[in-house]
Structure 1
Amino acid sequence: MLSDSPSRLDADWRLFIEGIAMARSPDPKGSGGLSQRQLRVGEQVRHALAQVLQRGGEIRDDLIARTVISVSEVRMSPDLKIATCFITPLGGDADTQAVIKALAANAKFIRGRMAPSLSQMKYMPEFRFRADTSFDNFSKIDALLRSPEVARDLGHHDEEDREADKASGNGDE
């Protein structure tokens, strides 16, 4: 858990998370990156999918109905006909692979429910559901950053930064 007082560890953690978010959404101008259109449509599809999943009672699948599902990202293919949806079932008792199979089995129904929200699209995309492992990666990295060795090293750098600020006259005092 992040502390209320800003520290170097918390600032490094925020920068790291921002870096991960930027890495997951590549620069559209870079080679192999997603176009602005792919990013925009992907966000629209993500929003529409989240709304359909929030009203889980419409989907006649017990697993989907009783599981809260987070849609963290939707990546569109260049022709906008395939949407790869990264999902995470929230709550510890849901099996991610079982939820993905249930979503895949109900993909046509979900497409039909999303159609009014995405009526501006020429084609309704085909959905491919994938497990989003970024949360697992975040927790592993958080555990590493909070380890005593890293905290000690960061504390050492904080002392050096304070001494450098005092020497240059930029101190808070």
Structure 2
Amino acid sequence: MESTRQKKIARLLERDFGEIFQRLGKDHFPGAMLSVTKVRVTPDLGIARVYISMFPVKDKNELLVWVRHNSAAIRNDLAQRVRHQLRIVPELEFYVDDSLDYQENIDRLLRGEGENPIK
């Protein structure tokens, strides 16, 4: 169960990450749209798990590797944005949010376009 403090910090980080990834996507991945779908913060506020949705990207793992490789620069940019709200900037862990892909797959299967269509 998340505390009120965790939820507030998660919302703050989610907003700031949205701006950061919007700029990064434009500079490093033209044509790709990166958005932060969820941020979860541990109870000690030491780790932030960031879930990223990517569209239209063919190789999401390649983009995730790039984000993880540049996490120090992303964390530094985040620190500049939240320096007056947070005393310590949490360590960052990035994950691909595949909930939209899952939803598209379910819709496709329900329309009968899947590998095992209902007859």
Calculate the TM-score normalised by the size of structure 1. 0.57
Structure of greater relative contact order (alpha carbons < 8 Å, 6+ residues apart) = 2
Q: 1:134 deviation in Å?
A: 1.0
Matching residue's letter, 1:124? V
Q: Which structure has more strand as a fraction of its residues?
A: 2
Counterpart residue number, 1:80: 45
- Which one-letter code corresponds to 1:50 in the other structure? G
1:138 equivalent in structure 2: 103
How far has the Cα of 1:45 moved from its partner?
A: 0.6
Q: Deviations over 1:34-93 (max 9, x none)?
A: 11211111111111111111112797xx4xx43321110011111111111111211143
> Take 2:94 and 2:53, find their aligned partners in 1: how far apart are those partners?
10
Q: Which residue of 2 aligns with 1:128?
A: 93
Deviation at 1:117, TM superposition (A): 2.0
- Corresponding residue for residue 150 of structure 1: none
Counterpart residue type for residue 73 of structure 1: K
CA separation of 1:130/1:118 partners in 2, compared to 1, >3 Å: closer, same or farther? same
Match status 1:45 vs 2:10: no
Change (3 A) 1:58 1:84: same
Residue in structure 1 matched with residue 61 of structure 2 by the alignment:
97
Which of the two has higher C-alpha Rg?
Answer: 1
In structure 1, the residue corresponding to 2:82 is in which secondary structure? coil
Runs (5+) with no aligned partner, structure 1: 1-32, 148-173
Q: 1:124 to 1:112 in 2, by over 3 A?
A: same
Using the alignment, how far apart are the partners of 1:43 and 1:57 within structure 2? 21
What is the identity percentage for the equivalent residue pairs of Structure 1 and Structure 2? Answer: 30
CA-atom RMSD in angstroms: 2.1
* 2:36 and 2:51 in contact (8 A); partners too: yes
Could you tell me which amino acid in structure 1 is paired with residue 70 of structure 2? N
**8 Å CA contact retained: 1:88, 1:96:** no
The amino acid across from 2:102 in the alignment is: N
Give the SS at the match of 1:86: strand
Runs of 4+ in 1 over 4 A off after TM superposition: 144-147
Whichever residue aligns with residue 100 of structure 1, its letter is L
Give the structure with the higher percent helix. 1
